[in-house]
Amino acid sequence: MPADTTTPAPEVIYVDKRRVACDGGGGALGHPLVWYSLEDDEAVCGYCGRKFIFDPEKAAKSP
């Protein structure tokens, strides 16, 4: 087993909607498109571990 494979830190994504879709970003790390409702202003993708946080201000600032 290769020792140089590192697990990427879970990504945090700020969104301005309480319903988000995640497909893991496509490619090798991708997964089927799934939708999440942000309860308590956050949700974590069960496939890729990305964390979605409801924060319209930060969502607007991201590229």
HSE, side-chain direction, 13 A CA sphere, residue 45: 24
Nearer to Zn ion, 1 or 35 (CB): 35
Residue 38 · residue 45 · CB < 8 Å: no
Nearer to Zn ion, 48 or 59 (CB): 48
Nearer to Zn ion, 13 or 59 (CB): 13
Return d(Cα 11, Cα 9) in angstroms, integer: 6
Given the rule CB under 5 A, which residues bind Zn ion? 22, 24, 45, 47-48, 50
Name the residue number minimizing CB distance to Zn ion. Answer: 45
